[in-house]
Amino acid sequence: MAIPDREFTRRVINGSISLMSKYPTIPEIRHANLRRIMDEQDIGPAELARRLGKSPSQVGQFAGPTRFKGIGDDAARELEELLGLAPYDLDNPIVLLGLSTAESGSYHTDATFQAYTKGKIPVVGVTAAGAAMEVIDLYQPGVAEEWIDAPKNYTPGSFILRLSGFSMQPKFWDDDRVMIEPALAWSVGDFVFAKRPAHGDGTFKKLVEEDGRMFLFALNPDFNPRYIEVTQDWHIVGKATFRLDKL
């Protein structure tokens, strides 16, 4: 698959493809995907409002041709269920960017988005990352602890997570820093950052599977709880792809 140039990423806005000089944000991806799906299902903002039980003016803020309001995590999951989509389909940038001819499916299983870049990247603590409503929030002023030169090429939306605690010792230690890449597909066995949006917290653990159920696993045998089941309360933000070694 060809890697698109950083300055010419394709974006779908208001039903048309245009060339822009920056990558799309999560709110832009959700809006473009929602508009595309509404068109495919022949649903207008008024009908969507009726199904959601909300006023047309309220729904028009995020579902109209022009986006005045972003779609939050909870609202995105509600819309996906209402429209018969798989979880996180609205967050899927593949169809939006035209990088795959595959049918739209689960973001984490079909993701092939590989638009790499290099530059400054934010460093964020686990607490701040868990409290952020969107990955894009980590790029807002005052959230990042610092900005550093990226140690490697990375996908859009990536950030450096500063770890705290001892749950992942001896492989990871307090104050270690790892790169989290939400745009890449994750799988069982990966080290991931997950958060509970309703609680505003997050954790860095190894993703394991037992008896068909997924768990966030702490490597340290003395840590309690060592297993946290990945229920609907949890959202896996992304997997770790790189650890910054201390000098």
Supply the pLDDT for residue 178.
93
177 three-class SS:
strand
| Single pTM value for the model | 0.53
Give whichever of 82-91, 191-200, 206-215 has the largest mean pLDDT.
Answer: 206-215
In the chain the domains, ranked by start, together with CATH numbers, are 6-110 (1.10.260.40), 120-244 (2.10.109.10)
Supply the pLDDT for residue 173.
92
Question: pLDDT digits over 1-45, tens only?
Answer: 233 333 333 333 333 333 333 445 677 778 888 998 998 899 999
Question: pLDDT digits over 114-123, tens only?
Answer: 344 456 788 8
Question: pLDDT digits over 163-176, tens only?
Answer: 999 999 999 999 99
Beta strand residue intervals within 158-246, DSSP E: 159-162, 177-181, 191-196, 201-210, 213-217, 227-229, 235-244
- Residue 125 scores a pLDDT above 80: yes
